[in-house]
Amino acid sequence: MNNKLYPLKFTPILKDKIWGGTKLKTLFGKDALTAKLGESWELSGIENEESVVSNGFLAGNKLSELIEIYMGDLVGDEVFDTFGHSFPLLFKLIDANENLSIQVHPGDEVAAQRHNSLGKTEMWVVLDADPGAELIIGFRKDCSQEQYVYALENEMIEELLQGVPVVPGDVFFIPAGLVHAIGKGIVVAEIQQSSDITYRIYDFKRKDDAGNERELHTEQALEVIDFNACKNPKTQYSPILNALTPLVSCEYFTTNMIQCDKALTRNYGNTDSFVVYMCTEGKFLLEAGTEKLVVVKGDTVLIPACLNEIEIIPETKTKLLEVYI
């Protein structure tokens, strides 16, 4: 039996949400019975929400079990030295059929103190957007804590915040502390630190199926919000066909876009990190030595750190996100 590591697919963890819809099923083939599918956790090491391998001889194993066995060969030596048996990133597809709550996430220090968790810095790539759809990204202008509290208490908070119209392909970097919300009619790929800590600021007086408004986290949020104006929130980039297009690079992750209509070789010999592909358009054959894997729109694949060279052979014009630490 061949027990060598290979490109890994995982069973998506599907999340019913009050604001969810059907686009993750219609656009990406996610198999869910609910009409309110809000999130597909594509790759997760969150406790009790761990991804399970779906292909090859490792099928049925949890992500943490793989890290325990393969350590640096799976995630990279430096990544393993830093995070141990924890997987440091979380990958999602999100369908906002209705507005998500306005929210903010704590950074590492506060998250560690309050929740024994990593903070939550993230990024979004817009995959689909209805005409006129908007994100909320930060404040229109510098704001004091007193102005913010007054607006919140008088249900005027939206007047302080910046609405940003979006189209497919738009990219946004959301550091911890930046107030934000995904607006109605938007589908995004989300790449984030491995944290599920969210402070909900405002939820439009929305009620759940039991008639209850969802919990707000006003006091917790006050201590972590960045009240400075958020200028030029959209990440600027120029896509290059059959080459690498850098999108975001921060201390937590690096994300590139690959668009190709012919074979492309990626060499990760000097990366010392796992690599994750999120296929957002098209279909391609992934070759790693003798291993071959068909990847289609909506698939997420983990490339172990020990695999140095990957061949991407598109069947149709293909777009994917490449992420590593």
Catalytic residues: 200
Segments in the chain forming alpha helices (H): 23-28, 63-70, 72-75, 77-83, 108-115, 145-153, 157-160, 218-222
Q: Strands 102-104 and 199-202: what pairing?
A: antiparallel
Angle at 316 between CA 314 and CA 322, to 5 degrees: 50
Q: Give the list of residues 6+ apart from residue 109 with CB closer than 8 angstroms, or none.
A: 119
Residue (of 116, 94, 77) closest to 41 by Cα position: 94
Q: Where are the beta strands (DSSP E) in 85-170?
A: 89-96, 102-104, 122-129, 134-139, 161-165
Q: Where are the beta strands (DSSP E) in 3-51?
A: 8-9, 13-21, 37-43
Question: In this structure, what token pair is assigned to residue 30?
Answer: 């996610």
Question: In this structure, what token pair is assigned to residue 305?
Answer: 């750190």
Q: Give the list of residues 6+ apart from residue 133 with CB closer than 8 angstroms, or none.
A: 165, 166, 183, 184, 185, 186
Q: Is there a contact between 80 and 71 (Cβ–Cβ < 8 Å)? A: yes
Cα distances from 186 to residues 96, 97, 128, 284, 303, in angstroms, run 5, 7, 6, 25, 28
Q: How far apart are CA 274 and CA 302, in angstroms?
A: 7
Burial class (CB in 10 A: 0-12, 13-18, 19+), 268: buried
Residue (of 54, 58, 49) closest to 2 by Cα position: 58
Place of tokens 């796992």: 274
